[in-house]
Amino acid sequence: MQENRYHHLGWHHGIELFEAAFSTQTFARHAHSGFAIGAIAEGAGGYVCRGQSMILPAGTLSLMNPEEPHTGHAAAGRVCYNMLYASEDAVRGVLGLSHLRGFAEIAPPDRGQVLTRALGALAARLNAPKGPDWQLAIEEAVHQALSCAFSRHGRAELRPAGREGVAIRRLRERIAAGVEAGESLSLADLSAEVGLTPSYLVRSVAKATGMTPHAHVLQRRVDLARRLLLEGMRAAEAAVAAGFCDQGHMIRQFRRHYGVTPGVLVRH
């Protein structure tokens, strides 16, 4: 049974994600024009690359540089993996790098399952309902996957996150205003607003606050929904006014932030 899915991010450097789940499918010898960054989640994959026949069990990464010819198949029964495709220009654009060295190892272990989880999180966000902050969530997930891959395995030297108090204050103010106005917020817009590159912004905000820009947006939307509910607005209307894709989305986020559903919010 084939369950493959392919996502193309036309608005975000043409980056793509292949969600693979198959048993019998094989891939003839081919190469990708950009980097191919994958993680085996279940089963075992196999291919011939750099003159070697390799078996990649779950927990193994597949890291290929541009124009690296290889084959592909399920090595034992069924294999499931997520594979991110990004051109050199896309990686430079997302991470703010001027130089890329590429990957030295094709199939290193994923210690701590960090990149496996990052690619899984990207897949989950791509398959989530398209609310106002859908693109922002995906941009952050792409950044997380690429920064993990290239800092851990590509010898990339990312600019260390610094103390950006003024920028972070401006970011919070912009998010608050945008949520109140019902705007969709993107990472590019937020970074331009505060004068930092998207990659550096994500890392600096996370270091200073323990939350990403998207997490700050969600917090603001939940806070707005709570205020509207306390003012007597119906739940379905509050969900739309606060920028959630539907009432169910608002309820899930409400529970995550406050530990209860809106239905048990009691006014006195």
Most distant pair of Cα atoms in the chain: their distance: 72
Closest CA to 81 of 55, 43, 36: 43
Q: Could you give the angle at the alpha carbon of 60 between the alpha carbons of 136 and 123, nearest 5°?
A: 25
The one-letter amino acid at 81: Y
Please determine, for residue 204, whether its predicted confidence score (pLDDT) is greater than 50: yes
- How much is the pLDDT for 52? 87
Provide the 3-class DSSP secondary structure of residue 260: coil
Q: Which two tokens stand for residue 229?
A: 């509910």
What's the token pair of residue 125? Answer: 């966000």
Condensed to tens digits (0 to 9), the pLDDT of residues 76-102 reads 888 999 999 999 999 999 999 988 989
Strand 26-30 relative to strand 70-74, pairing: antiparallel
- Proportion of the chain above pLDDT 90, given as a percent: 81
pLDDT, position 150: 97
- Mean of the per-residue pLDDT values of the chain: 93
User: From CA 27, how far away is CA 74, in angstroms rounded?
Assistant: 10
The type of residue at 58 is A
Q: Which residue has the tokens 């081919």?
A: 30
Looking at the domain 5-133, which fold is it? Jelly Rolls (2.60.120)
Question: What residue ranges do the domains of the chain occupy?
Answer: 5-133, 159-259
What's the pTM value of the predicted model, to 2 decimals?
0.91
Using one digit for the tens of pLDDT, what is the confidence trace for 9-38? 999 999 999 999 999 889 999 999 999 999
Q: CB atoms < 10 A from the CB of 101, how many?
A: 12
HEC profile of 148-181: HHHHHHCCCCCCCCCCCHHHHHHHHHHHHHHHHC
Residue 110 has pLDDT above 70, yes or no: yes
Q: Cα separation of 70 and 56, whole Å?
A: 14
Which has the minimum average pLDDT: 26-35, 156-165, 206-215, 217-226?
Answer: 156-165
Sheet of 44-49: strand order equals 26-30, 70-74, 44-49, 52-57
Q: Tell whether the model's pLDDT for residue 232 goes beyond 60.
A: yes
Q: Taking a C-beta distance cutoff of 8 angstroms, is the pair 119, 59 a contact?
A: no
The CATH class for the domain spanning 159-259 reads mainly alpha
Where residue 43 falls (left for φ over 0; alpha for ψ -120 to 50; beta otherwise) is left
Q: What is the phi/psi pair of residue 113, to 5°?
A: 55, 30
pLDDT-based confidence at residue 130 (cuts at 50, 70, 90) = confident
Q: What pLDDT does 94 receive?
A: 96
pLDDT at residue number 1: 45
